[in-house]
Structures are given as C-alpha cells and as structure tokens.
Amino acid sequence: MLYSATINVMVKAARRAGRSLKRDLGEIEHLQVSLKGPANFVSLADKRAEEILYQDLAKARPGYGFIGEEGGMREGTDKSHTWIVDPLDGTTNFLHGIPQFAISIGLVREGTIIAGVIYNPANDELYIAERGKGAFLNDQRLRVAGRRQLNECVVACGLPHIGRGDHEEFRREMTAIQDRVAGLRRFGAASLDLAFVAAGRLDGYWERNLQSWDIAAGMLMVREAGGTVSDINTPGDALVTGDVVCGNEFVHGELVKILRK
C-alpha cells in the first residue's frame, strides 16, 4: 500500500511509541502508577509514549495543534489542524499485562477527522484510515461485517467507570441488548473496539462518556470501512459528546433504536 506522507508520519510515531510501551510492559512494577481521578490510572508508560508522539508529530508538522490525554492542549500556529492523541488506550489492561491496548492518533482538520492510526504493539496490529481512501489492517483493506440479524451479532460495549456516567441506565441498556444479540463483549480499549468493528470482528459497539482521544481515529476507521458511527442520543457529534455507537448501517440502526428508548 502507498499511504500519504501524513499517514507515514503517524505510523512512524506510533511504532516508536509502541516500542516504548513494549519495553515498559516488561517492567510494570517500575512504572510509578498513580490515579488521575476515580479509576483513571496513569503511569510512566503513558507519559513516555505521549512524549515520543508529541516530539515526532510536532517535528514533522510544526504548526499543528496537539491534544494528548496526558499532556493537555498545546496550541499550534496552524489553527486548522490538530492531532488528537491517546498514547496508551487501555491503561488498565496494560498494567495487568492484558495485551489489549493501543496508541491512537487522529488528525482533525477544521472539525473533520481526516486521518487515523491505531497501533497495538503487543500483537503488531496496525490500523490505518484516511478520509475517502479506506481503512486498512496491516495493509489489508477493511470492511465492516455484513450481518443483518441481531441474534447473529457479537457486540461490544464499555462499562461506565467509577464516578462517571449513569450506572443504572447502563445496566438497563446492557440487559436489553444482551437479550437480542449472539454475544456481548467488554475488552476495555475503546480505540480497538472501534478498530474491531472496522475489521468486521465485531458487528457493533457502543460506549458513553468517552473522550475525543479515545475515538477520533477509530470513528474514521469504522466510516472508511463502510460502517455507520454516530452519537448515541441525538444526531450530534460523538467526537464532542463522547457517546458513541457503531456497526454496519443495519446493526447501527438496531442499536440506536434500543439505546434511544
């Protein structure tokens, strides 16, 4: 595959940060884990990976703005382009040695996501999406699954975290969906849940209260694989509300019907 220069910059940065995460995975006991908020862990691994991503991306595109989970907002001189970066999505999995975590890099131009890279260094799966050009996993073009019977579908969700979201509402939604699908999953890394929908491994996924860095790259991945992604509640922008639902057009529609009741 021939990707654009911007994608190549993102892939190089993700792979370098990925090497850092892999090194740190081998010495979890030295990572100085702390809590940023209820059930929101951060470690040296998150911070080191973000520093690498910031350095590489800022060097290649000096004017672009940068929003990273651990570094906050850094404005650029180019007001139309912003990197949206999660240096380690799935920190809880990472700290438990569960190999379901990823680096997620999205590029937004004037409010539209135009490029996304999601990289899981544990299994070397690299997902790439570019607006209008498709989505790829290790250079293979991706297409969402085609199932049209909800009772044949495997759907993933995210659980509301301690101190966030409406836990009762979630239990109602989860029960309603669980009763209709072939299987329900909870993997714990939002970027990879979206990537799995793009890859046709999952038929659908929904989660509330996410942040832009969790989903910017993944939302584009699903769209470029032919899927439908939206805000759960309204036709609003999930990138802004953090409440995301996706699948093929049919599965998305069915999930929305259940979740909006």
In angstroms, the CA 123 to CA 126 distance is 9
- Identify the three-state secondary structure at position 147: coil
Choose the one of Ca ion, ligand 2AM, none that binds residue 158, judging by a C-beta under 5 to 8 angstroms depending on kind. ligand 2AM
> Is residue 52 within a helix (H) or strand (E), and if so which, with residue range?
helix 44-60
121 is a contact residue toward ligand 2AM (CB under 6 A):
no
Shortest distance (Å) from residue 46 CB to Ca ion:
6
> For Ca ion, which stretch binds (CB under 5 A), given 11-19, 88-96, 123-131, 165-173?
88-96
Shortest distance (Å) from residue 86 CB to ligand 2AM:
5
50 is a contact residue toward Ca ion (CB under 5 A):
no
Tokens matching residue 196: 């799995």
8 is a contact residue toward ligand 2AM (CB under 6 A):
no
Q: How many CB atoms lie within 10 A of CB 200?
A: 18
Task: List, as one string, the DSSP characters of 96-133.
Answer: TT-S--EEEEEEEETTEEEEEEEEETTTTEEEEEETTT
In angstroms, the CA 9 to CA 34 distance is 31
The residues in 122-181 that bind ligand 2AM, with binding defined as CB under 6 A, are: 158, 161, 164
* Phi, psi of 259, rounded to the nearest 5 degrees: -75, -25
> For ligand 2AM, which stretch binds (CB under 6 A), given 36-44, 50-58, 105-113, 137-145?
36-44
Nearest residue relative to Ca ion (C-beta): 89
- Identify the three-state secondary structure at position 67: strand
24 is a contact residue toward Ca ion (CB under 5 A):
no
Candidates 24, 50, 56, 86; binder of Ca ion (CB under 5 A) is 86
The residues in 182-221 that bind ligand 2AM, with binding defined as CB under 6 A, are: 188-190, 207, 214
